[in-house]
Structure 1
Amino acid sequence: MEKLLSSLITELRRGTLTLAVLSQLRTPQYGYSLVQLLEKSSVSIEQSTLYPLLRRLEKQELVESSWDTTESRPRKYYVLSEYGIEILEQLKAEWEKSTKELQNLLKGDVENEPD
């Protein structure tokens, strides 16, 4: 049972992590700062999950990256692209709609019960 539950929780979190990451990239962030921001909101993400996700989002043109080499240790910063901002807004609206629908289902509040 624990193995199945763990698998289902991972599947459930997969999509929400994308939304969580995008929501924090309105200002430029590097990997570790992004992890800290997410953890501050109780969203945990492993670096082994974060970096492939960031690369995928960059490939999808939702985020842009740039290197800061002014410090002793170069850092790659990520920020939402214009396209990413549009997508984030649409995803937020869908998330809010889906959340409301699921809350109603889980509470048993069904507006249109069958006759």
Structure 2
Amino acid sequence: MTSDATLSQHLQELRRGTVVVASLTVLRTPGYGYALLETLSAAGFEVEANTLYPLLRRLESQGLLTSEWNTDEARPRKFYRTTEQGDAVATALRTEWTRLDRAVTDLGTTTGERT
């Protein structure tokens, strides 16, 4: 039987890439970090702020996101938005995700998956 620690490690690896595609998808509509955290959490993506903000900076440095400060409100907020390149990457990742999901499902069916 697999230990809880081993399963936890594999689940974390699985989730890591999904947060990228989820963030790029959500940020097609401009949003700030905290709102993104709430949106991801509501959709079932449990991500912590200390993981998300470095990810947003990395995606921005890769040219997949752009950001700007909104100083219209009492508290300035940094808004992020997916760039054209980020949108293309999100679309490609979602297509690949769908393909992989189908392949894994097919493997489970053809190998007599245990329930």
| TM-score, normalised via structure 2 length | 0.90
Q: 1:64 aligns with which of 66, 69, 72?
A: 66
CA distance in 2, matches of 1:36, 1:55: 18
Offset of residue 104 of structure 1? 0.8
Residues of 2 paired with 1:52 and 1:106: CA distance?
36
- 2: distance between equivalents of 1:108 and 1:13? 25
Pairwise CA RMSD: 1.4
Q: Distance in 2 between matches of 1:94 and 1:51?
A: 25
5+ residue gaps, structure 2, are none
AA paired with 1:66? E
SS at match of 1:45: coil
Cα offset, 1:87, TM superposition: 1.0
Structure 1: stretches of 5+ with no match in the other structure = 110-115
**Counterpart among 19, 22, 28 of residue 20 in structure 1:** 22
Equivalent position to 1:34, from 11, 24, 36:
36
1:93 to 86, 92, 95: 95
- Structure 1 residue 103: deviation in Å? 0.9
